[in-house]
Structures are given as C-alpha cells and as structure tokens.
Chains A and B, each alone.
Chain A
Amino acid sequence: MLCTGALVLFGAAGSVSADHDADLLERGKGIAVAQERIVAATSGIETLPSESDAKRWLTAATSASTTVTEVQNTFLENTGPLDLSGVPLDYQEPTGRTVVYTEQERMVLAQEMREEKIGGLDRRLLSFFSTQDTDGSGFNAASDWLLGLDTAKDPIAGTLRWSAPEVGSFDQHGTSTIVWELRGVDGSLAAWATATFDHATVKMTGLVLHEAAPTDGEPR
C-alpha cells in the first residue's frame, strides 16, 4: 500500500514538473512573439527611404499615376462616333490633280487615325501593371478601363475624363494608394479605380474598378 502511495507521489511529482515546464514554455512564447516584432521593426527601419529617396518615390509614383491617367484619357478621347473634323477633305495626286475624299474614305481614314493614336497604349500601361493577374472576366489593368464599364455604351463616354491627385504620401510598408475618378463635364462621378503603388518595384498592383450606381432619375 505504501509502495503504491509512493509511486503515486512520484508520478504526481513528475506530472506537476512536466505541466510546469509546459506552462512556462507557453508563457514564454510571448518572448518569441516580441522578438519577431523587434526584428520586424528593426528591419523596417533599415528599409525606410532617406529623404531624398522618399522624394524620388513620390515623384516616380506621381509620374506613373499621371501616365496612366493620360493613357486612359487618350482611350476616352478615341471612344464613340468617329470624329471627321481632323480628317482632310481631299488630297493631291503626284500629277497635281486634287482628289476629293468620299465620306466613306474619310471614315476609313478617321478609323486609321484613331487606331494610330491608341496603338501601343497598352504597352505603355504594361510598364506599370502586370497582365498576369486578371479576374474571371479577364479584366486587364493594362488596357482601356472603359471596356470594363457599362458607361462605355453611353454616348457621352467620350466626354468623361479620368483624374488622380498627385501622390503626396506613402505608408509604413513603402506603398501608396492611388484613386482615379472618372467624371463627366458636370462633375458627376461615373466610376473610380484604386490600385496600390509599390515604391520598391515601381509597379501598381490590385487594380479594382468600380462603376458608380446610377442615381435616381438619372438613366445610364
């Protein structure tokens, strides 16, 4: 009986000791967590830019944002019915004879001029966006954003304009959020897009394009 009691006591002592060790380990996990925070903060300081680098960050981000805005507005300017105002009415043959373009020929010329204007714009966008990540619908940031919007069917689409403010700030992760707004001449908001600019890679990721819901009594 006493032997059994002794065994129980030794067993209990072992159990208490093991539980205690486990308890201390559990309580000590806070040290590892704190250590990770220290490492993250210390390495974070090392990756922060100098003042001159930070200035370059903001300049580069604004330049990228402005280029994207200009490209998207060029797409917009070349949306909708063909504009014949810039198309010549006639041309001169080598013999000196003046030949007047037909309406149909002028339409073809206008289309060619439009394609020339928007040709290569996708490649300019590729400098800032990756085409690798697209959603199920195949929307591609490095393309004409209007194509992803119902607004494209609106006759006034060509009068809308994209705009984005200068990039004047960056967060602690070395990124800046850019918001583009698509507005009509009356200031009404038709759509907006957001993306994250990574100053280290000088690339934008995660473009999300939203179309504004029509307000009451305002058919789209």
Chain B
Amino acid sequence: MNSFAIAQPKSFEDASKIVTDKKYSLAVLKAGGIDLLDHLKEGLIEPDLLVDVRRLRFEGGRGSPGVSGGTVRIEAGTTLAEIAASDALRQAAPVLAQAVENAASPQVRNAATAAGNLLQRPRCWYYRNEQFNCLKKGGSTCFAAEGENRYHAIFGDGPCHIVHPSNLAPALMVCDGVVHLVGSSRKELPLARLFHMPDKGVKSENNLEPGEVVTFITCDAASKSGFYAIKEKQSFDWPLVAAAVALELNGTTITKARVCAGAVAPVPWALPNVEEALKGVDVANADALKKACAVAADGAKPMTDNAYKVKLLPVAVRRAVLIAAGRKAEVES
C-alpha cells in the first residue's frame, strides 16, 4: 500500500471534479471504505488520492431512509445498518431491509454504504488474489472457467464468470430502483441499466462514466416484497444464491410479480420468465407456486462445480415469494 492523499470535498459536484483531476494517477471515491480497503490490502489498486464522500448528503437528503408518496429515498452514504434499522423503510419496501440485514457482519454494516454496496467489485477469488492476472486485471484468462468455480455464475456466456455480489441490487431491481447522479449530463440511471455483462467490458461491472457520482437512490414502495438468501455460513458469508421478489396480490393470488436473483450472474439477474409464470398463481397453492418458480433456472449453464446453484435458485425464489406474501412460516415447511 502506497501513501495517498485524502480529499474531503464539500459537495458531490466537487467530488466529481476532484476524482477526475488529471494530476492524480489514480483517484478513487471512498464512502464506507470496505471494498476500497480490501483492494488496497490485496494490492489490487494503488490510488494516490481518495475522495471521501462518506458524509456528503445531496439536497434534501437525511441520514435515515425517507419514504414519501410511494417513493423510497436512500442517500448514497446511508449505511446498511441504517437501512436495516428504518421502520418506515421496512414497512414501505421490506425487501430492501431484508436484503441488507444479514449481509456481511454488524461491523461491516455499520460502515458499508448503499451506493458502495451497489458499486462494489466482485468477490471472485481469482480477481481478489493479486497472484492471478485474470481478465478483469488485463490478463487473457478467466481462471474460473477451467478452475475453481463453485461460487461462480450459472448465467451468462463469459468471458468472465463473476457473480454480482450486491444484495441490495436485486432488491432495488424489483422496486424499479434508480440511482441519481452528478458529474455528467444525465441526472439518473435505472438500476436495470446500471450494470453490464462482461462481454460489454470486462474490466468494469457498471455503466458509470468517469466523474459520475451516485448521490442518492430512489425506488418504488413495495410493501409486499421479500428477500431470501441461501448461505453456507450463517455468519459473515456471501449468498450462494439470493432472490428478491415484489408482488401485487389480489387476496392470495399474484396479479403482478417482480423477481430478480443475486449471486447467479455477473449482474443482478432479472427473471421475467418467473414473473410471467407467477401471474395468477395462488400463493396458498404450494404445488402451483413450486411449478411457477421452477422455471427460474431455465437457461442456466452451470460450470463444472456449481450445478447445485441451479437447484437452489428456484428454492430461493419460492421462499422470497412466500416471504413477500407474508407467509414466512411456510418457507421451511
């Protein structure tokens, strides 16, 4: 780790200017600093300037998530712990609170931010190990393709097989999340267009331009929504598979469903086929629900060691549906 300077701009606009200042060889934004510190410690990047945006609040932004008129607003620098602790948000969009309440560890959740969670780099063990010069680092090989890929993607055609690590991203996807930006002519970008697949650029995962800074995030309220993650370890582990679901119900019948999976593809993986299959399904009808969710893994192309994820995905989706429908007790029955 080399010495670096820290800038503490007064506004997101200033942060945008400083982070693109050409006099630095590598200037990076620092919010919670969780992913950044991981990169520094492993020697993956050597920035000479950190631009601290941790405490910045955009116009009208507060510390805790706000809900008004069917819209949820979360500041870029709001921590995962603050999201999980907000009663208003848990009422308006439980999927968001459930997505972050068991992420990482309490210590990490107290520091990690909403925008940082969305924009964190993948946890692929080849990417994270300085010894492996993989595609993401300018190399010519995806070591996972022929190597150790038990935690890698079951969707996508490569050439890189990461899974998107954020829990918050699939949750925001099912609530039509939007990130709000400064630093360019565009003022916002829907979650659905925030990320790109590896074939559209393997060295990054998102579509932000240099100097674009996330100021806050909005999404629609979704009171009937839920999140379910299957993890090997119940403390401080990444999901093997996760699912976020938002429902509209008529009694116990699904009239509209939004479904997005995490940890199965290089981006939050929307599942329109499941959304279609869930329409008209009575959530009290276990067999019908199971059948509708079974299509979640259609089109999956497992690698050598991760076929189990194909089995887990429909389970995670079905359990998220049950939680969204207020039937948590049926999840493990």
Q: Do A and B form a real pair?
A: no
**Residues of chain B whose beta carbon lies under 8 Å from any beta carbon of chain A:** none
